[in-house]
Amino acid sequence: MERLIFDSNGKIAGLDGQIVKPNTKFKQQSNYKKTSLSEYDGSENEDQDEFAEVLKKSQDLEFLKEEPIGFQNIYEHAFWSLHSEKEFLKPLKFSNEKTQEDVVKEIVNLIKNNNKIIFLHGTCGTGKSAIALNIGRILGKTSVVVPVKNLQKQYEEDYMGKKYLIKKNGEKMKIAMITGRQNHDSIINPGQSCADPSLPENIKISEKNLEQIEEYYKANPNINNKDMPDLKDLRRISIAPSNPYWSPILPSDFELNVLKDAQKKKYLGCDGREYTFYHRKEGCSYYDQYLAYMKADVIIYNAAKYLTELSMGRKPMTDVEIIDEADDFLDSLFQQQEINLTRLHNSIKVLAPDSQKAVEIKNKLIELIDLEEKNKRILGVDEKKVFHVSETKVKEILELFLKSSEFQSEVTIDELSYANKALEAAESFEDSLSEVYLTFRKFEDNLLVKLVSTNLSAKIEDLLSKSKSIVFMSGTLHSETVLKNIFGITNFKVVEAETINFGNVEIIRTGKEKDCKYSNFSAGKHTREEYLKALDFCIQKAKKPTLIHVNAFQDLPNDLEKQSFMLNNLMSADFLYNLQIQDKTGRNISLFKQKLSDCLFTTKCSRGVDFPGDMCNSIIFTKYPNPNISDTFWKILQQTHPNYFWEFYKDKARREFIQRIYRAVRSKDDQVYILSPDSRVLDSVKEFQVNGNSLYQ
């Protein structure tokens, strides 16, 4: 395990002897200064870290290294390769007598026989990541998608060090990670990440930064006339090249001839268009990582980055897409995006496009946002009211973003511009705009709009049109009915790997359990005090260490309730909210794993974090993990898919429930106790026990 170094305030200061520098961008500009649950404005990416673990440099990009491999017998196992140093690792054998190699062969043969969609069902112990890489090894260039950065890092640690795969030509398989700016050293400002807001490609074009902007303009090697234009006419391309490492990617039909020092590296994007990577000076890992689009055999994305690259079309065309935690990925395709219209207005205002058409679009967008904000100032904002997109100016705004390739390129080239968020939304909803609904809300002086579409057929078709073949892997697949009727996926094959869940799950009853469905509380059958005291008693009775899955912050007491009801074992909702916001590096999870804390309250450990063995002896569910039915998405889904709504709702809850148990049941020797104040949780565990500890039915 990597050794974490903490400073005197308990914050992470280093990793395996390397000092970690604070990322000042997120200290100064983060929205996470908020002190209560209701204060977040929704305008920033919640995944951004205040502290990068260790900033990457170009020498850390393993796929760029040429490593000679000694003679290997690559013919003994035609469908399997996995080595640890010089040792060959044999494929695992499952309870159904299949091996990992058999599963790879079965999937490869199905794809070669023109089956485009494959579902791999494999529980803990399947070794799905090694199966994924071996499928790619046979079929060719591969995209692998994982739900969270933790799993992306796990691939990096498992298969880019001592372990490796050998291709059919005897070469070591090249695996690359695509990660965000905040993970990479900026080089021109050592110790600061590539997300540093003072860098020329990131700096906000405004009066307060005028002096720095003038320096960047004069330092641009591609400009002969050093008299800088007015700020309102200044384009990002006029200052970004002063960073010699800055290397944009754009469609090839939009030529950036001003970048005379760039090597133009072309590749085919997933949308069928040719793209050009304007690679300038080598040495910055953030930009150099995109060489993987041309050079790597396997590219590992987190789901958010993958969907962004996919919607933009610039993800390279690959021979197979392999989606880990596929049920979570498919759920995420139900589009929900929130755009801060006030911030978008300000972002568009500073754009300085060249072409007349792009200028006209810019001006029209500003006009439409002004009209929408004026309308809401006059009529007020009812946050519960659902509008069809055509009833607002938002439909025109999204359509305008897609009207001009010149305008799109102007937005794309300024990578950190908030306008990219709107462009991504426009591209995501392009084929289903007639079925988009929205709600508005105000935060301080900002107007925010939440966009929702429950039409998946267009989204699935878009994914299929940009893919040659797709392998969906999960231990908790959707039911066949949901796949066919909600997602519209009718032509697919299912391959079984390990289907038995090892380990033992036991119930501990406190005698205070109640059916915690909403109607029982609203009817006065149960009180909140009873619920909170039952939850408090669960923690008291649980065998430590204990993982507490908090289904919603409202499941925890406020400060007054904690004091009034003497809930000594619980933390308040606001306390947990702020604790998680401040913990950018997973320190609390690390402390729990190292047994330096005996309770972990969390809303974030449903997937991607494992607590095997005696790291976790008990799991407490605050409530059965039903989705929030009052959320805009579920309201609209019930309107648009009334016949299948409840089946999908229950299917989603079942899968989340199973995944949360999986966190502590990772092998045949694992045992975990389940407690909850909600009797529905224990009833579900009992049903699971009756089915012979088979979590997937």
Instruction: Note the pLDDT of residue 11.
Output: 39
Instruction: Note the pLDDT of residue 692.
Output: 54
User: How many Å apart are CA 104 and CA 674, to the nearest integer?
Assistant: 35
Task: For the chain, report the end-to-end CA distance as a whole number of angstroms.
Answer: 35
Instruction: Note the pLDDT of residue 500.
Output: 79
Q: Is residue 472 helix, strand or coil?
A: strand
The overall average pLDDT reported for the chain is 87
Instruction: Note the pLDDT of residue 210.
Output: 95
Residue with more model confidence, 227 or 502: 227
Please answer whether residues 43 and 421 qualify as being in contact, where contact means their C-beta atoms are separated by less than 8 angstroms.
no
User: Tell me: the pLDDT tens digits for 619-654?
Assistant: 999 999 999 888 888 888 888 889 889 999 999 999
The beta strands (E) that lie in 314-461 are given as: 320-323, 336-340, 387-388, 436-443, 446-453
Say how many C-beta atoms besides its own lie within 10 A of residue 691's C-beta. Answer: 11
Dihedral of CA 687/691/693/697: which sign?
negative
Using a 10 angstrom Cβ sphere, with 0-12 exposed, 13-18 middle and 19 or more buried, the burial of residue 523 is exposed
User: How many Å apart are CA 328 and CA 319, to the nearest integer?
Assistant: 23
Mean pLDDT across 63-90: 79
Q: At 647, which amino acid appears?
A: E
**Confidence category of residue 1, pLDDT binned at 50, 70, 90:** very low
**Confidence category of residue 303, pLDDT binned at 50, 70, 90:** very high
Tell which of 40, 59, 78 closes a domain: 59
- Is residue 49 scored above 50 in pLDDT? no
User: Tell me: the pLDDT tens digits for 609-622?
Assistant: 889 899 999 999 99
Asked if 422 and 515 sit in the same domain, the reply is no
Asked if 609 and 675 sit in the same domain, the reply is yes
Q: What is the pTM of this model?
A: 0.82
Mean pLDDT across 111-116: 97
* Domain-embedded: residue 9: yes
Instruction: Note the pLDDT of residue 600.
Output: 97
Least confident of 65-74, 94-103, 400-409, 463-472: 65-74
Asked if 509 and 627 sit in the same domain, the reply is yes
Asked if 356 and 426 sit in the same domain, the reply is yes
Q: At 346, which amino acid appears?
A: N
Q: Is residue 683 helix, strand or coil?
A: helix
Instruction: Note the pLDDT of residue 336.
Output: 79
- Is residue 15 scored above 90 in pLDDT? no
Residue with more model confidence, 361 or 12: 361
Asked if 509 and 445 sit in the same domain, the reply is no
- Is residue 74 scored above 70 in pLDDT? no
Tell which of 453, 470, 495 closes a domain: 453
User: Tell me: the pLDDT tens digits for 201-258?
Assistant: 999 999 999 999 999 999 999 888 888 999 888 999 999 999 999 999 999 998 888 9
Strands 249-251 and 274-279: antiparallel
Taking Cα atoms as reference points, which of 453, 387, 446, 456 lies closest to residue 418? 446
State what percent of residues in the chain have pLDDT above 70.
89
Instruction: Report DSSP state, residue 476.
Output: S
Boundaries of domain holding 386: 336-453
Instruction: Note the pLDDT of residue 168.
Output: 87
3-class secondary structure per residue, 197-257: CCCCCCCCCCHHHHHHHHHHHHHCCCCCCCCCCCHHHCCHHHCHHHCCCCCCEEECCCCCC
CATH number of the domain at 543, please: 3.40.50.300
Asked if 376 and 525 sit in the same domain, the reply is no
Residues 6+ apart with CB under 8 A from 112: none
Taking Cα atoms as reference points, which of 186, 178, 408 lies closest to residue 293? 178
Q: 5 in the Ramachandran plot: left (φ > 0), alpha (ψ -120 to 50) or beta?
A: beta
Asked if 546 and 653 sit in the same domain, the reply is yes
Instruction: Report DSSP state, residue 555.
Output: G
Mean pLDDT across 411-417: 88
Instruction: Note the pLDDT of residue 275.
Output: 97
Tell which of 385, 420, 453 closes a domain: 453
* Domain-embedded: residue 191: no
- Is residue 278 scored above 70 in pLDDT? yes
* Domain-embedded: residue 509: yes
The beta strands (E) that lie in 570-686 are given as: 599-602, 618-621, 671-675
Dihedral of CA 203/207/208/211: which sign?
positive
Asked if 525 and 434 sit in the same domain, the reply is no
* Domain-embedded: residue 274: no
Q: Is residue 143 helix, strand or coil?
A: strand
- Is residue 48 scored above 60 in pLDDT? no
Residue with more model confidence, 69 or 459: 459
Phi first, then psi, for residue 677 (nearest 5°) are: -75, -10
Residue with more model confidence, 643 or 567: 567
**What is the DSSP secondary-structure string of 97-131?**
S-BHHHHHHHHHHHHHTT--EEEEE--TTS-HHHH
- Is residue 276 scored above 90 in pLDDT? yes
User: Tell me: the pLDDT tens digits for 284-300?
Assistant: 999 999 999 999 999 99
* Domain-embedded: residue 267: no
* Domain-embedded: residue 173: no
* Domain-embedded: residue 379: yes
